[in-house]
Amino acid sequence: MDSAPSAVVPLGSHARPTRGSILGDDELAVIEELLRSGSPLSGGVWRERFEEAFRAHLGVAHALSVTSGTTALRLAIHLLDLRPGDEVIATPQTYLATVQPLLDYGVRVRFCDVEPDSLNIDASRIEELITDRTRAVLMVHYGGRAADMPRIMALAERYGLTVVEDAAHAIGGSLNGRPLGSFGHFGIFSFHSSKNITTLGEGGMLVVRDDEAAARATALRDNSVDAVYVPSRHTFAETHRPPAGAMFPAGSYTADCLMLRGTGINGTLAEPAAAVGYVQLGKLPALQARRRELARQYTERLARIPGVHVPPVPEGVDHPYHLYTAFVDPELIDRDALLNAMDAAGSQLSLRYFPLHLMPEWRAHGHREGECPVAERRWFREMINIPCQPGIDDDQAAQLMDQLERTISRSWRRGRTPLGRTA
């Protein structure tokens, strides 16, 4: 699992790389090995190897591979055993899948504003949102930068809350030497094609701290029901021994269902995807090194551009740079004009993510503008995300920075402050 990644995939000067990882001969070889072996293509040895390697990587007891990060989130939220009227504290600055499953539970979501530099949930503001109905905190390591997990976990312990740690951006990141995704009661990882490693485009991992919760999650993933069973009080067949070759769920002949908590899904990660995930996990150190080198180059160049700010990474935070985020001074730079000018020049920047409390489905539940002012200001006026995928070579990175600097400096040469702001 220590092999280096394949050669960087060449990109045209105006290409917009969207793949978060690099796939090459190693991945092709393991898929060919699997297909030629005649082994099962679902629920076989590669899933076991991938999960075992992932547990070792994080130092955790339970890691269940699933079909997507969204599947992992849905399983974790199901295991919260929420009831109508319960409350959940969540970050607004994340992909919609982090909180979307809560719409199915009739719970009240209290969106907690974010820190201005990290865009992570502001741990100093969580406590003021806690009530006697609060059951859980849903947070994310935005872009891969570690949230304040010691403070969040201390609050969870004090108030009896469950923490769902969305680490979809954070594989390869750590806080004070501890891997991100291993702090919360549940950890969520995504292996979508845009993420730092991939399992053929889709895939995820659910990390579970508690043995009982892990057993429930496994049953749900494997298309069983989540239920409480007791020994059967009667028999309904002449024998408890099934006929040879019969397929049936465990306990069919010997148990009664005392309480049904939910129905299962087929969330099994296919063997080809698991095999690729195993190879990709071995390449993670080299892939991360490339992302960090790009981040270093960007930070060095952006320090020369007036009106652009890159927050420093705090001591003890090992940033995996799923996203590279900078901020512009809105008094100097019209952010939207900058994005449009860069796009017209063939160097598209991006914005991730729209503040979730302002999505239509959450506005329908009473959420409004002004609820999370830091997240709103950053997203609507100041934030830019700069491509940081390992497939970007040094020349492309330099071209991107050159274009950004030219785009801003042109406005200065016209006797105006950058991008249309009048002096």
Catalytically active residues are: 195
Q: What's the per-residue H, E or C state across 70-132?
A: HHHHHHHHHCCCCCCCCEEEECCCCCHHHCHHHHHCCCEEEECCECCCCCCECHHHCHHHCCC
Peptide bond into 142 cis (omega under 30): no
- End-to-end CA, the chain: 56
Contact 271, 47 (CB under 8 A): yes
Q: Across-strand partners of 198? A: none
Contact 51, 65 (CB under 8 A): yes
Contact 19, 200 (CB under 8 A): no
Contact 120, 140 (CB under 8 A): yes
H helix count then E strand count, the chain: 10, 15
HSE-up (13 A, CA, CB side) for residue 174: 11
Backbone conformation region of residue 232, classed left if phi is above 0, alpha if psi is from -120 to 50, else beta: beta
**Beta-strand pair 204-208/174-175:** unpaired
- Distance, in Å, from the CA atom of 322 to the CA atom of 20, rounded to the nearest integer, reads 8
Q: What's the per-residue H, E or C state across 245-302?
A: CCCCCCCCCCEEEEEEEECCCECCCEHHHHHHHHHHHHHHHHHHHHHHHHHHHHHHHH
* Coil, strand or helix at 41: coil
Would the CA dihedral through 96, 98, 103, 108 be positive or negative? negative
Reading the block at residue 305, the tokens are: 């551009």
